Amino acid sequence: MKTRLAPLFAGLAALGLAAPLHAAEVQVAVAANFTAPMQKIAADFEKATGHKAQLAFGATGKFYAQIKNGAPFEVLLAADDETPARLEKEGMAVAGSRFTYSIGQLALWSAKPGYVDDKGEVLKKGAFKHLALANPKLAPYGAAAVETLTRLGLLASIEPRFVQGENIAQTFQFISTGNAELGFVALSQVYEGGKLKSGSAWIVPASLHAPIRQDAVVLAKGKDNPAAAALVKFLKADPARAVIKSYGYAL
């Protein structure tokens, strides 16, 4: 097979990820910050294995509530490590299937070029009306943003200007449409292929907030689905890890 995908297929075959005789589908709940890389990974996964990943994107906190209420998800890619661990403890996930698929990076971003400096001094100057962030009660990136502002001693002065998104995707929309001059987003939303896609940003030092460890877990409903097992294996393989790294995540 002389195509650009031939090397990928050959490598995946060596890892035991070659296409099966009977392809299946897997229902996947994906943290909103991981939208772009997961869309790419899902396409590569289908080409390489024949299995199809049906993706739903949203806030990890909301997914937890939906899973507890019987939502048909079979794999969860969370924005934290606490939610998958809780689901495993509560018997809603397959014991031993949990692993860290990425470590997220927080960024202060504006759609305006040159608006955010590379040290985040714009926060101290305070010359803005609105700052967007994801709901810290539902989204780990929102919690990391609040922790960052707290450590900088700026929370009390900036909190009245907060515009909260339900999740990190909505937060990005607030900033990209100009409803907020700047805000905290996942680096993966504004970064691809080793560079900023648009606007201006400050990559928040990891020392200013707790690590954003993002864990995946096979849920109870996916226990016997071969596509669920194949997706988890694919996420751990080099082709998927390369995609994850290209969007600014640490591994």
145-184 residue pLDDT tens: 999 999 999 999 999 999 999 889 999 999 999 999 999 9
The pair of structure tokens assigned to 219 is 């849920």
All residue ranges of the chain with pLDDT < 70 are: 1-21
List Cα–Cα distances, 251 to 136, 144, 159, 193, 243, in angstroms.
Answer: 24, 18, 32, 16, 11
Strand partners, 163: 132
Of 82, 88, 101, 28, which Cα lies nearest the Cα of 58? 28
**Adjacency order of strands within the sheet including 106-110:** 162-165, 131-134, 182-186, 106-110, 200-203
pLDDT at 22: 72
Write out pLDDT tens, residues 195-208.
899 999 999 999 99
- Angle at which helices 238-246 and 35-49 pack, to 10 degrees? 160
* Coil, helix or strand at residue 78: coil
The strand pair at 131-134 and 182-186 is best described as parallel
> Contact, 165 vs 216, CB < 8 A?
no
The CA distance from 115 to 197, in Å, is: 15
pLDDT at 3: 44
pLDDT at 193: 81
pLDDT at 142: 94
The pair of structure tokens assigned to 12 is 């995946």
What domains can you pick out in the chain, each with its CATH number?
Answer: 6-103+213-246 (3.40.190.10), 106-203 (3.40.190.10)
